[in-house]
Amino acid sequence: MIIAMKAGGKRLLLAAGVVLAIGSFAVSEYFLARDTSFAYYMLPSRAGELLVGALLFLWQDSRRIPASAANLASAVGLAMVAGSILYLDERNGFPGVRSIIPSLGTALNLLGNTSKIERMSI
């Protein structure tokens, strides 16, 4: 990712992050059927979840979103996390690609709440 940032700037860094996140979710799904301990505990299969937050930071770095969009993002994110708590368990194959749901939900919740903090501090 450092090479991507040096070679192509923020756009290439975002693209590399997306590719790595998709690859991580694919690795997680692959190992879910073969070695559940690896899929759950090892970084290659969980890095996508971390990258979702990093990509949100990079995307949102210089953007401000309207209050209505922030509220909607926060509500949708909360619903995604709550749905994940109810739906996801070891029988449904977690982490795998299903971990995208709580990861995106958390990112949306952070996006909505970060926007509110910036508005309050100004």
Predicted local distance difference test score (pLDDT) of residue 121: 47
| Residue 120 backbone phi and psi in degrees, to 5 | -70, -30
- Residue 77 burial (CB count, 10 A): 21
Give me the amino acid identity at 76. Answer: V
Whether residue 107 contacts residue 76, with contact meaning beta carbons closer than 8 Å, is answered with no
- Structural domain harbouring 10: 2-121
Predicted confidence (pLDDT) per residue in 48-57, tens digit: 999 999 999 8
Total residues found in the chain within this entry: 122
Taking 50 as the pLDDT cut, the residues of the chain under it are 119-122
Mean pLDDT of the chain: 86
Within the chain, what is the greatest distance between any pair of CA atoms?
51
Whether residue 12 contacts residue 5, with contact meaning beta carbons closer than 8 Å, is answered with yes
Distance CA 121, CA 31 (A): 45
H-helix or E-strand containing 97?
none
Residue whose tokens read 């301990």 = 37
Predicted local distance difference test score (pLDDT) of residue 122: 46
How many domains, in total, are found in the chain? 1
